[in-house]
Structure 1
Amino acid sequence: MSAIEWRDLVKSYGALRAVDEVSLSIAEGEFVGVLGPNGAGKTTLLELTEGLRRPDSGTARVLGRPVWPRDPALLPRMGVQLQASSFFERLTAREQIHTFAALYSAPARQADDWLERVGLAEKAGTRVERLSGGQAQRPSIACALVHEPELVFLDEPTAALDPQARRNLWDLLAGINEAGRTVVLTTHYMDEAETLCDRVAIMDHGRILQVGTPAELIRDLDAPSRITLAPGQVDAATAERLDAVSAVEETADGTVLVTRRPAAVVGLLAERGWLDGVRVQTGTLEDVFLNLTGREYRA
């Protein structure tokens, strides 16, 4: 059984088709990222799947059941972290998480465990409105997970988190997925999706443009590699005469060799003793994303 099944899903707001005939299956235990620029339809797609919005046409099924009309039996089996969370006023971080645990009849010790796991033990007695922006993101994640759901929806969970907190959250999310839970993540961080996701779906203008593992998408793009040599190590004229180099760029970081045969070029550099400080950058998920969605600014 699929954890999620989207079939010809459509949602419009006036003339804007926010979700445009989306079809995709997500297997139980899979970690899937939905990537796209601002306004691509990611959040609307998640809200349709969570039963928060009614589709205009098509169907969304979760754990084998239709999500609309809203199904109360599905609610305790899902955990949802929204882009913007509203908490009960004047409650501390610990009280917020305990309240959500009580709503799902989860034991108090489970709430304390999640307080610790999201790194808020030292802020347990602090009211949520007094937490910093990054700290305030953590109770929303804990509240989504405190009842140990089978399926987890995370809408940009690491926004506003510092690098250390992001990495700690990555470990947490990888752990809940390894425990057998299905995770659906929207994010603007390509490194996050590349690290965590089994598959990614790249979305724009309400449509899913491409789906695959990060490695598959990068391989299919067939982007050239960029080999950066330290400044002053070799002049551009010499670099241009190297076999398998298709272009040479001079940058503040040094001379960049563009090639589709990086192994051959690195071998030539080794023969000449030019490997000190060399950096090799192959295609990335960001290259795939920009190739599919363009580089223009999105408000």
Structure 2
Amino acid sequence: MCVFSGWRCSVADPTSAGVLYVVATPIGNLDDISARALRVLGDVALIAAEDTRHSQRLLQHFGITTPLQACHEHNEREQGGRFLSRLLAGDDVALISDAGTPLISDPGFHLVRQARAAGVRVVPVPGPSALITALSAAGLPSDRFIFEGFLPAKAAGRRARLEALREEPRTLIFYEAPHRLLESLEALRDTLGAERQVVLARELTKTFETLKGLPAGELCEWVRADANQQRGECVLLVAGWQAPEGDEAVSAEALRVLDLLLAELPVKRAAALAAEITGARKNLLYQVALERQSK
């Protein structure tokens, strides 16, 4: 027995239950849909769609007549039981979002969780994803990255989120609505620094695709000067934090103390005393002291 929000279900008999397919659809260019996705969408008994009107146009383009039912953020918890009943009755169901891979800043999590808890087989049908598409062409480190979804809509929330990520060394990826793009870029500039490298990936795979990388301060002004860049679907990719080296890694107070001591003491002794006084690392202060002595 499984229970979700007061709704009860039996655990599926794997020999008779249907399959829930999580199907990725194009983020712009319809040619990006896979042959497997088309076959699954045509074969299932029902498609759970984020926006049935939007998805109907996709299906009509490919001549697919499978029935659609809405599964979006406002009804997903309540309607999950309806889809699960169909699955438990033996019907195959496909889950799609308006574009890209479901669940990635899109609905579907609750339905997938319910299906898995009920013993229904969940099968991913991979395909387009805006964050991976953007990362593949951004020119920022891609071996380690984190996806943060949408930044908070309110300024204070945005600042708090970015402050928490200030010293995150991995590449940061955000989605952003076009009407908040400039505000978010300004928040990135003010919180992470005007020199932090940022890439705007906009309208990916569409006619007016943009991939523009600049320091945060310059990218703000570039977007501000061109209203066309404040339209369409946007992904922001931000270079991860890099620990400063040399003088930049030492506080201004530690440098002041070190300079005073270097005027009277040998390098090694000055670095040791400066470390005791300021709490900075002795080895780092020693390296800085050597560099300052050599200038």
- Higher relative strand content: 1
TM range (shorter): under 0.3
- TM-score between the two structures when normalised by the length of structure 2: 0.27
Larger RCO, structures 1/2 (Cα 8 Å, 6+ apart): 1
- Higher relative helix content: 2
- TM-score between the two structures when normalised by the length of structure 1: 0.27
> Is the radius of gyration larger for structure 1 or structure 2?
2
